[in-house]
Amino acid sequence: MSIFKGSGVAIVTPMDQDGNVNYAKLSELVEEQITGGTDAIIICGTTGESATLTEEEHTECIQTTVSAAKKRVPVIAGCGCNNTAHAVRLAQNARKAGADALLTVTPYYNKATQKGLKEYFKIVAGAGELPMILYNVPSRTGCNILPQTAAELAREVENIVAIKDAAGNISQTMKTAQLCGSDLDIYSGNDDQIIPILSAGGIGVISVLANVAPKQTHDMVMEYLNGDRKKALAMQLEAIPLIEALFCEVNPIPVKTALNLMGKAVGGFRSPMCEMDDKNVDVLKKALKEYGLL
């Protein structure tokens, strides 16, 4: 059974004026996402600035999200790391905190071999015990899960059930789909490739866009899955200018800026993230207005 179908939001981690995690605001954001139609909450991912959260903050973010979600949608907790032992602790903490599933990124910086990746994912999946989504984002990690590796993991590890495909290579997506078949669900990890990946057999998206447009992102996926592919494609194309603006600087700088422009008061960033360039803020404002969000 799939963890979810539709739109899962890679939710931001809101901060207060002192740079501490704003857990009350996080609960508000979770409620707004569920009300807006989001089908799953992904906490402590890239968009959630997981690399700069302490282990204690990481666990409390998951606990807060689980409490706010109240079992209405799955809570998927990020737990990847470039240190396998640390990734194991994060996975175990996520399970104890009540997460429904794990999102495990490839170990960044180390540039593991495919053999090393298999060992890493098997160890973390075994420790976490929950259903696991592999997270492939080589542009950020310097490490790529090849289709054959994904297929072997799906066959050999019972609780590895899906992949978040943010490789940006539709040919690789197609090969993964061909090799894995029904053994591995595929989620788009890029908002500008939602419809292409659904056309390759994907069942949803883990989305940055959904932070600012939860209903539109959910509807786009469900229109496709329910058979209105022409309408889904039109929605994808309409969203492209906003998606481009949300990635005109490194994620999550633009999306947190967008939420603040929309009055959501999600605060600033943890260094080395920084405030957005003024020219790019103007681009973002224009895109939000044209999409009807400002």
Classify residue 277: in a domain, yes or no: no
266: amino acid identity, one letter: V
The β-bridge relationship of strands 160-165 and 6-10 is unpaired
Classify residue 166: in a domain, yes or no: yes
**Catalytic annotation on 23?**
no
Task: In whole angstroms, give the CA distance from residue 102 to residue 76.
Answer: 5
Instruction: Name the CA radius of gyration of the chain, rounded.
Output: 18
Identify the active-site residue in 135, 187, 224, 291.
135
- Per-residue pLDDT at 57: 98
Identify the active-site residue in 23, 25, 120, 164.
164
Classify residue 248: in a domain, yes or no: no
State the pLDDT confidence band at 1, using cuts at 50, 70 and 90. confident
- Per-residue pLDDT at 233: 98
3-class DSSP state for residue 122?
helix
Tell me the per-residue pLDDT of 190-239, one tens digit each, with 9 for 90 and over.
999 999 999 999 999 999 999 999 999 999 999 999 999 999 999 999 99
Cβ-Cβ contacts under 8 Å for 92 (sequence gap 6 or more): 127, 128
Tell me the per-residue pLDDT of 66-101, one tens digit each, with 9 for 90 and over.
999 999 999 999 998 999 999 999 999 999 999 999
Give me the domain span that covers residue 183: 6-228
Task: In whole angstroms, give the CA distance from residue 79 to residue 89.
Answer: 8
Whichever domain contains 122, its CATH number is 3.20.20.70
Residue range 99-116: mean pLDDT, rounded = 96
Residue range 52-63: mean pLDDT, rounded = 97
Q: For residue 80, which of 128, 35, 39 has the smallest C-alpha distance? A: 128
State the pLDDT confidence band at 64, using cuts at 50, 70 and 90. very high
Classify residue 95: in a domain, yes or no: yes
Mean pLDDT of all residues belonging to the chain: 97
Task: In whole angstroms, give the CA distance from residue 242 to residue 263.
Answer: 17
State the pLDDT confidence band at 161, using cuts at 50, 70 and 90. very high
Instruction: List C-alpha distances in Å: 75 to 61, 63, 98, 99, 226.
Output: 11, 10, 8, 5, 24
Classify residue 66: in a domain, yes or no: yes
What share of the chain has pLDDT > 70, as a percent?
Answer: 100
Classify residue 102: in a domain, yes or no: yes
Backbone angles phi, psi at 190, to 5 degrees: -125, 125
- Per-residue pLDDT at 90: 97
* CB crowding 155-173: b at 16 or more within 10 Å, else e: eebeebbbbbbbbeeeebb
Tokens of 252: 């999550």
DSSP-derived letter for residue 182 is: G
Backbone angles phi, psi at 137, to 5 degrees: -140, 70
Task: In whole angstroms, give the CA distance from residue 132 to residue 130.
Answer: 6
> Within 13 A of 226's CA, how many CA atoms are on the CB side?
10
Classify residue 280: in a domain, yes or no: no
Residue 170, pLDDT > 90, answer yes
- Per-residue pLDDT at 126: 96
What share of the chain has pLDDT > 90, as a percent?
Answer: 99
CB of 293 closer than 8 Å to CB of 212? yes
- Per-residue pLDDT at 203: 98
- Per-residue pLDDT at 145: 98
**Catalytic annotation on 108?**
no
Q: How many domains does the chain have?
A: 1
Classify residue 282: in a domain, yes or no: no
